[in-house]
């Protein structure tokens, strides 16, 4: 058995296999989200609330998920001028969410303002989104960034670390390089997880759960392979078991 590069227990965020998977509640409304949570049957602790769902439900859903004993990851990908992002971080600090994303491409001033705003009781730990997993070299080059995604990912991850951000979001392809560049205490949250044989959908840079954990991931974000399964609870438990087999 290969030992993982990461040491997620040090972060206080991901100390057990059930803490190392976040199910993406990528649905349109509160009722759909809570129905999905019920069908998960407690298979995992973390739930990811993205922009679509948060804009529809606001803090009410976060509070309900917390009442049910779940840990909440708010994936809002904040990207604006430093003062606005700092204000948003302070607002989110009142929700009880434990993780919150900002875009690393917002630059050092924005990242530092966000990090400063997160130094208050109850604030979430911040994760910097590097390069979206839906982007490959062609997409990145079209946006004016030359070279391979891995180069930009490590560049942005290092910038985020130097700016005081707690962790990063990157694809499974770059996680080992980001772990090496940012150290064992960084929280590395990894989307783009697909079981063997599962369709890629809109993901370009992917891996299985065991591959991502072995490379140094702290938490895996899994959406459609679980949420579109006939039995979401069973699908989530299968991935937790896969994580346990290598963690």
**Residues recognised as catalytic:** 77
For residues 212 and 126, give the distance between their C-alpha atoms in angstroms, rounded to a whole number: 21
Q: Which residues contact 41 (CB under 8 A, 6 or more apart)?
A: 233
With contact defined as beta carbons under 8 Å apart, do 244 and 17 qualify? yes
Residue 173 tokens read as: 């392809």
List helix spans (H) across the chain.
30-40, 51-57, 59-67, 82-92, 108-117, 137-142, 149-162, 175-182, 209-215, 224-227, 232-246
Burial class (CB in 10 A: 0-12, 13-18, 19+), 166: buried
With contact defined as beta carbons under 8 Å apart, do 104 and 129 qualify? yes
The conformation of residue 231, written as its DSSP 8-state character, comes to: S
For residues 71 and 99, give the distance between their C-alpha atoms in angstroms, rounded to a whole number: 9
Task: Report CA-CA distances (Å) from 45 to 65, 79, 219.
Answer: 10, 27, 11
């Amino acid at each position: 058995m290969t030992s993982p590069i990461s040491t997620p227990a040090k972060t206080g965020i991901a100390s057990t296999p059930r803490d190392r998977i976040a199910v993406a509640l990528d649905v349109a409304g509160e009722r759909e989200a809570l129905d999905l949570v019920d069908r998960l049957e407690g298979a995992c602790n973390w739930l990811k609330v993205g922009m679509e769902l948060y804009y529809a439900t606001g803090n009410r859903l976060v509070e309900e998920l917390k009442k049910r004993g779940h840990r909440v990851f708010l994936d809002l990908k904040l990207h604006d001028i430093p003062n606005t992002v700092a204000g948003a971080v302070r607002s989110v600090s009142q929700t009880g969410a434990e993780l919150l994303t900002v875009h690393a491409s917002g630059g050092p001033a924005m990242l530092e303002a966000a990090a400063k705003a997160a130094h208050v009781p109850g604030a979430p730990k911040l994760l910097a989104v590097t390069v979206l997993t839906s982007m490959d070299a062609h997409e990145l080059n079209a946006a004016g960034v030359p070279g391979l995604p891995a180069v930009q990912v490590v560049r942005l991850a290092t910038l985020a670390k130097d700016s005081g951000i707690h962790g990063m979001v990157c694809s499974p392809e770059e996680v080992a390089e980001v772990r090496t560049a940012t150290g064992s205490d960084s929280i590395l949250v990894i989307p783009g997880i697909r079981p063997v044989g599962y369709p890629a959908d809109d993901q370009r840079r992917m891996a299985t759960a065991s591959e991502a954990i072995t490379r140094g991931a702290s938490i895996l974000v899994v959406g459609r392979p679980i949420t579109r399964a006939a039995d979401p609870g069973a699908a989530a438990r299968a991935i937790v078991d896969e994580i346990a087999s290598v963690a």
